[in-house]
């Protein structure tokens, strides 16, 4: 039983993970080298806890107990009693290596060392350790206390005991856990790429504007946000950086090719909501165009993007990244898709999905539309993902 949880990095993700652990009755050591950031994190957590009391989610005594379980410290040595330490710092492999080397000198030989990275390989992070069998990826989604999904990523170094212990602990916190192979983007950030990339491609071809594409995905497809609204919410700089990272990590596979439109918007500082302008104007919303609510056009946009998403989900199963169940769980619980993509493929008809992809591939001659071999095999054998 792991009693004390360590968190390195007191940004939004770090404080969220600390909150979850403390609410689950663990002692928590939250470390950051910056006293200023620690002070900001403590104030932020106090506000969140008071809001939970106001909403009746916790009592005042529970709030005090949760706060008292967290030690905010700039001294990394205070992490010594931890049975698990989760790193949630900047996505820079050199800095992560430095942190993990220091951690290994402080914690016991039995302490599990985890990274919350969303884009770096767990194997590369674990390479800095003398006992690399203790490394694991534990990827939360923002905001960590609210989002149910956690991706657990064993590396080729991770021991079975490390993987099993991490899964057992995170499941005990009430999270939906999916296990995925240590490949670029894991499940969610890999499978979701066409949601953004194909929407941008449709725009660049002049088929529809931002508002129309968003309308089609939200109103006809049931997605909570359209791709351009979501990119503005995430931040174009952040989303573009992830796209570039995945593209490079996949050895420049055309399926993950970034968009010049997103690159230019990012270069211009049109990051989205946080900058006041992205694909939409937020300071003067009257400047935004109105959606063309032509259902035939909207359905064609939806079909194109959804089929590419399904193809990417099938590829994740084909390449052994995760099981059918875990891929669908990841997309519904991690990014709130209206239904699992493999389930959606069954409902549309895998033969229909294959035909739409093949038509796109024949028309464009672009590898981004190549149907996955598993899709071809299942159609040939008249199989479904769910019986």
Tokens coding 178: 């999916």
Main-chain phi, psi angles of 71, to 5 degrees: -100, 120
CA 110 from chain centre, in angstroms, equals: 28
118 is catalytic: yes
**Bridge partners (DSSP) listed for residue 71:** 29
Catalytic annotation on 91?
no
Alpha carbon 187 to its chain centroid, in Å, reads: 8
- The encoded tokens of residue 348 equal 């549309």
Do 326 and 317 meet the contact criterion of CB atoms below 8 Å apart? no
Catalytic member of 10, 87, 104, 139: 139
Indicate which residue of 87, 104, 151, 198 is catalytic.
151
Per the annotation, the verdict on 139 as an active-site residue is: yes
Please name which of 306, 312, 316, 315 lies closest in space to residue 356, comparing C-alpha atoms: 306
Q: Which of 115, 116, 132, 189 is catalytic?
A: 189
Find the catalytic residue in 10, 115, 118, 132.
118
CA distances to 77, 130, 373 from 141, rounded to whole Å, are 28, 29, 31
Angle in degrees, CA 285, 286, 287, rounded to 5 = 85
117: tokens are: 């990275």
Q: Strand order in 84-87's β-sheet?
A: 70-73, 27-31, 4-8, 84-87, 112-115, 135-140, 149-153, 176-179
Residue entry with tokens 């949880």: 5
The catalytic residues are 118, 139, 151, 189
């Amino acid at each position: 039983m792991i009693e004390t949880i360590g968190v390195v990095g007191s940004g939004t993700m770090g404080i969220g993970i600390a909150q979850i652990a403390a609410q689950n009755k663990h002692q928590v050591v939250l470390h950051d080298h910056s006293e200023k950031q620690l002070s900001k994190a403590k104030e932020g957590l106090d506000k969140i806890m008071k809001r939970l009391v106001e909403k009746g989610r916790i009592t005042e005594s529970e709030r005090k107990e949760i706060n008292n379980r967290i030690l905010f410290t700039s001294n990394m040595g205070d992490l010594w009693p931890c049975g698990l330490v989760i790193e949630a710092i900047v996505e820079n492999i050199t800095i992560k290596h430095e942190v993990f080397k220091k951690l290994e000198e402080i914690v016991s030989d039995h302490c599990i060392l985890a990274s919350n990275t969303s884009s770096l390989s767990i194997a590369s992070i674990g390479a800095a350790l003398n006992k690399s069998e203790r490394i694991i990826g534990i990827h939360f989604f923002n905001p960590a206390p609210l989002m149910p999904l956690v991706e657990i990523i064993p590396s080729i170094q991770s021991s079975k005991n490390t993987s099993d212990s991490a899964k057992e602990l995170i499941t005990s916190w009430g999270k939906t856990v999916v296990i995925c192979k240590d490949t670029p983007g894991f499940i969610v950030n890999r499978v979701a790429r066409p949601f953004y990339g194909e929407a941008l491609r449709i725009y660049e071809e002049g088929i529809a504007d931002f508002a129309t594409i968003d309308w089609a995905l939200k109103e006809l497809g049931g997605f909570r946000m359209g791709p351009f609204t979501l990119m503005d919410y995430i931040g174009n700089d952040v989303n573009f950086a992830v796209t570039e990272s995945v593209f490079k990590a996949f050895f420049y596979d055309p399926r993950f090719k970034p968009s010049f439109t997103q690159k230019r918007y990012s270069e211009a500082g049109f990051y989205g909501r946080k900058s006041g302008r992205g694909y939409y104007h937020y300071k003067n919303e009257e400047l935004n165009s109105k959606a063309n609510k032509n259902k035939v056009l909207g359905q064609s946009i939806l079909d194109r993007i959804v089929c590419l998403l399904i193809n990417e989900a099938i590829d994740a199963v084909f390449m052994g990244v995760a099981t059918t169940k875990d891929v669908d769980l990841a997309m519904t619980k991690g990014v709130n898709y209206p239904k699992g993509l493999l389930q959606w493929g069954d409902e549309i008809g895998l033969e229909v999905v294959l035909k739409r992809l093949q038509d796109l591939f024949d028309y464009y001659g672009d590898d981004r539309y190549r149907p996955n071999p598993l899709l071809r095999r299942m159609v040939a054998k008249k199989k479904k993902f769910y019986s």
